[in-house]
Amino acid sequence: MAQHPLLHSLQWTTPEGHGCLERPPAEQVLSQFLQLFASRGASSDAKAGMIRDLLAILEAVDCQWLFGGCHPNAAPTLLRDMVVALSLYAAPPQQEPEGGGLPSGDPSYAAVASRAADVSLGFISIVAKVESAKGLERLGTAVVGPILRQVAGPLYLFAVTHVAERLWTTPKTRRMAQELLDGLLRASDCRSVPEFLRGAREDETGWLAVVMQCLKPELTKDTWQRSPATKHVFSCTLQHVTRPWLGPHLEKVLPPSLLLSDDYREENKILGVQCLHHIIRNVPAADLCQYNRAQVVYHALFNHLYSKEARLLQVVLLCLLDLLPILEKALQRLPHNPQLVTPSDEVLQLVLTHMESEHRLPLRRVYARNLPAFVERLGIQIARHLKRLQRVIVGYLEVSDGPDETARLATLETLKHTIQHAWPRMSCRLAVLLKALLRMMLDVATDRSLTPEPVKAELLQKATECLILLDHASHGQVKVLLQGVRRSCQDETLKECLRKVEEEPVKSISTP
């Protein structure tokens, strides 16, 4: 048998006349491997050779040698140290926080993929031996349990780092990382990644605490930006854990989410806000409000409302819509808190201020798309904002925003909810709103652009519904003001819409 350099250095020999290897203790092999691998004089080629030799060793031995021949406490610790060392060896190259990362064609990424493929083979072999050891009477859970407690976290982090499509992964490394992850799930008696992290039942702890402990050094203010994989691994892990399992880990997942959302790069802000949103939706309100956590999250999100990035604003507004009920309910319980201006009022006031002066279509669509939900959130209290809201509605109905008419359709939905909630205040605003609706309906009916017919039909239908609601809110005044308009109208489509308004009997508005 040919002697590999590592085998030779470990004095792993084949005596003459014997067909099997004379094996030194696993503790000695792992310890010497780590010593050689960590030596300063070891080049990349030398380390690659050591890993190939390690693979040969792992293929030649059984789980009894790997787990059963070592000191009870030494085997798990040495395996963990080896997994961590190899994971660092195959980790994506670090980047400077100010530099924005490495270019996609950087040769360092190709080297990472090559290293990850070799390391994955070794990890897959280790996990397979852990799985085999579970069925052996001499090993069983008494040995497998301590082994998993040491290596499950680092192995999971390595697999998640390389399983998704990233700059440092290839189809081959992603396939091998998935194979490693599947093997780890089988060895842990789990059917899925969420079950692995949270436990199969509510009373089980799962591996999330172990994973977060392994990830903690990489999630500090000074370190998280250096590794391009850290934020993705954290976000992916967090998204797998839902209510009620996430609550006990709030202290571990909230600070990294706030760190991400506070970054200067848009993609990191979006990722951080998405993490915060997941936490808000899956952690009990009482835990969120304890120690003013909800207030901290609210101020972090509120600052993002000044952004001019449409993608960021979209996730921020959705997150705020879920946070505001939790925050305001907690504020209502405070003594001597009159709540004259609620956080919902603050958010809507700022949003309407930005909407009035906004001319960029992507931002107009985002604002308009989320405005109906804020009107529903405030209910009758929307009356506080009617003056500014009216200006926004009129302005957004005047301008077409493209074939899909996203902003106009959403604005009509906003007007509908506003009438339903604040109908006693509509009579004094009837002339302005009626004029804006009729002007928009005429523009749509006579439009000869590329706007699809279904979109035009939906616009006219929603505008007709708003006219009917205005008529109910004003006790039939819309019918009076529309007298003669239908007879002088030349467009048949618009005439049909006006006919529906005139024929609709006046009735009371039921607040939703």
Do 347 and 491 lie in a common domain? yes
pLDDT in the model for residue 7: 53
pLDDT in the model for residue 5: 55
Q: What is the mean pLDDT of residues 148-158?
A: 94
Proportion of the chain above pLDDT 70, given as a percent? 88
pLDDT in the model for residue 143: 75
Do 330 and 415 lie in a common domain? no
State yes or no: pLDDT of 21 exceeds 80: no
pLDDT in the model for residue 1: 36
Do 328 and 416 lie in a common domain? no
State yes or no: pLDDT of 112 exceeds 80: yes
State yes or no: pLDDT of 105 exceeds 70: no
Band (137; pLDDT cuts 50, 70, 90):
low
Q: Is residue 466 part of a domain?
A: yes
Domain count, the chain: 3
Do 149 and 260 lie in a common domain? no
Do 479 and 377 lie in a common domain? yes
Q: Is residue 203 part of a domain?
A: no
Band (20; pLDDT cuts 50, 70, 90):
very low
Band (490; pLDDT cuts 50, 70, 90):
confident
pLDDT in the model for residue 447: 82
Structure tokens at 446: 């006579």
Q: Which is more confidently placed, 137 or 486?
A: 486
Through-space distance between the first and last CA atoms of the chain, rounded to whole angstroms = 82
Q: Answer whether 207's CB lies under 8 Å from 152's CB.
A: yes
Q: Which of 321, 339, 357 is the last residue of a domain?
A: 339
Do 312 and 457 lie in a common domain? no
DSSP, res 219: S
State yes or no: pLDDT of 389 exceeds 80: yes
Do 124 and 250 lie in a common domain? no
Q: Which of 314, 339, 364 is the last residue of a domain?
A: 339
State yes or no: pLDDT of 49 exceeds 90: no
Q: Is residue 320 part of a domain?
A: yes
Q: What is the mean pLDDT of residues 349-359?
A: 95
pLDDT in the model for residue 6: 56
Q: Answer whether 393's CB lies under 8 Å from 433's CB.
A: yes
Other C-beta atoms lying within 10 Å of the C-beta of residue 131: 17
pLDDT in the model for residue 489: 76
Do 419 and 482 lie in a common domain? yes
Do 369 and 307 lie in a common domain? no
Q: Is residue 205 part of a domain?
A: no
d(CA 459, CA 469): 15
d(CA 426, CA 415): 11
Q: Which is more confidently placed, 173 or 1?
A: 173
d(CA 232, CA 161): 8
Q: What is the mean pLDDT of residues 13-40?
A: 68
Q: Give the list of residues 6+ apart from residue 6 with CB closer than 8 angstroms, or none.
A: 33, 36, 49, 50, 53, 54, 57
State yes or no: pLDDT of 356 exceeds 80: yes
Which of 165-169, 220-224, 237-241, 475-479 is predicted most confidently?
A: 237-241
Per-chain mean pLDDT for the chain: 87
Q: Is residue 201 part of a domain?
A: no
Q: Is residue 213 part of a domain?
A: no
Structure tokens at 126: 């280790």
Helix (H, G, I), strand (E, B) or coil at 13: strand
DSSP, res 130: H
Which of 22-31, 105-114, 157-166, 442-451 is predicted most confidently?
A: 157-166
Structure tokens at 69: 């021949």
Q: Is residue 204 part of a domain?
A: no
Q: What is the mean pLDDT of residues 31-45?
A: 81
Do 176 and 225 lie in a common domain? no
CATH of the domain at 295: 1.25.10.10
State yes or no: pLDDT of 411 exceeds 60: yes
Band (266; pLDDT cuts 50, 70, 90):
very high
Q: Give the list of residues 6+ apart from residue 485 with CB closer than 8 angstroms, or none.
A: 438, 498
Q: Is residue 501 part of a domain?
A: yes
Do 164 and 246 lie in a common domain? no
d(CA 64, CA 56): 17
Q: Which of 189, 211, 242 is the last residue of a domain?
A: 189
pLDDT in the model for residue 140: 65
State yes or no: pLDDT of 130 exceeds 90: no
pLDDT digits (tens, 9 = 90+) for 292-338: 999 999 999 999 999 999 999 999 999 999 999 999 988 887 766 66
Do 498 and 413 lie in a common domain? yes
pLDDT in the model for residue 8: 56
pLDDT in the model for residue 16: 46
Q: What is the mean pLDDT of residues 57-86?
A: 78
d(CA 72, CA 84): 20
pLDDT digits (tens, 9 = 90+) for 176-192: 999 999 999 999 989 99
pLDDT digits (tens, 9 = 90+) for 421-454: 999 999 999 999 999 999 999 999 888 877 899 9
* Domain range enclosing 53: 1-93+109-189
pLDDT in the model for residue 366: 97
